[in-house]
Amino acid sequence: MSAVLLGAFVTGLALIAAPRLARARWVLRSPSLAIFAWQMTCAAALVSATLIGLTTTLHWDTTHSLMCRAWQLCLDALQGAHGRAAQLAAVLGAALLAGLTARLAFGAWQVAGAERRRRRSLQAVLRLAGSRVPALDATVVPADHPAAFLVPGGHTDVVVTSAAVRQLAPDELQAVMAHERAHATGRHYWLLRTVRLAHSAFPWIPMFSTALHQVHRLVELRADDVAVRSSTPLALARALVTLAEGGARPATGNPILLAADGGDTAERLDRLLRPPAPLPATGVRVAVVAAALLPLVPVAMAVAGRYASIG
Ligand SMILES: [Zn+2]
């Protein structure tokens, strides 16, 4: 029964919660909260899938409530001790667990390997073509199009093209640098990496591809919010237009870069020029607690289901 309820819960997350979160307008008022909500939604889905596998594979000894007396006892359903139907369910649960573990391990290996290779080749190019400019605290590379981006990794580096230095006014360049540094200090690369891992492991699940797209969009909004604390929305907006008109987007096709003109430029411009009111602090705190509890919901469902079956 637990597995059925957990299946309904994860289906609700994928078909109802995730699409609603993707369409929600409040995310524009608190991108940080929305990023956290996406991460907790993905975590809750993965926890649910794991628990579906566990609850169908393992058989808990009724005389020892939630604890197994021994692994032998836990796994007796797999050996057919509770009939053919229970054995089939246990085999399916074990297959789900094995598949889930293998896909996550494969996804982590794929993401880490691809990012390491791209970062190394980028850093090699930057060492050859770029020159460090201490006044900007950035590496400047010669190029005809204006662009700025962050190369994350062990040593994060802001890279700006010579065209951007030429074409952007001093306050615009400062706003762009503040945006890129906000990506670095906010560890946006790591936030993206967690959803990229889920997407890489399960690319056929729409919820994870939506989560990756949305978190990418939201980290740009969050970096804008931080940047305008030390510059002005108008300077950042003007810089965004210059970068977008430059026509070259180094982040395109390269998942490890966080470009200054990443995300939805029209949406960012509109938000900079007509900033929405932030969400009330109390509401944000309540929502953070609710989101943090989301991955615990399937755990509570599995425990409650186990108690019900014992009772
Ligand atoms: Zn950015």
What confidence score (pLDDT) does residue 54 get? 83
Handedness of CA 199, 204, 207, 209 (dihedral sign): positive
Residue 63 has pLDDT above 60, yes or no: no
**3-state SS record for 60-106:** CCHHHCCCCCCHHHHHHHCCCCCCHHHHHHHHHHHHHHHHHHHHHHH
Residue 251 has pLDDT above 50, yes or no: no
C-alpha Rg value of the chain to the nearest Å = 24
Residue 157's DSSP bridge partners are 151
Residue 45 has pLDDT above 50, yes or no: yes
Q: How far is the CA of 142 from the centre of ligand 1 (A)?
A: 20
Protein residues within 5 Å, CB atom, of ion ligand 1: 220, 223, 258, 262
Q: How far is the CA of 183 from the centre of ligand 1 (A)?
A: 7
Whole-prediction pTM: 0.85
Planar angle of CA 245, 125, 222, nearest 5 degrees:
50
- The domain limits of the chain are 2-274+281-310
Q: How far is the CA of 172 from the centre of ligand 1 (A)?
A: 14
Q: How far is the CA of 291 from the centre of ligand 1 (A)?
A: 25
pLDDT band at 111 (very low <50, low <70, confident <90, very high): confident
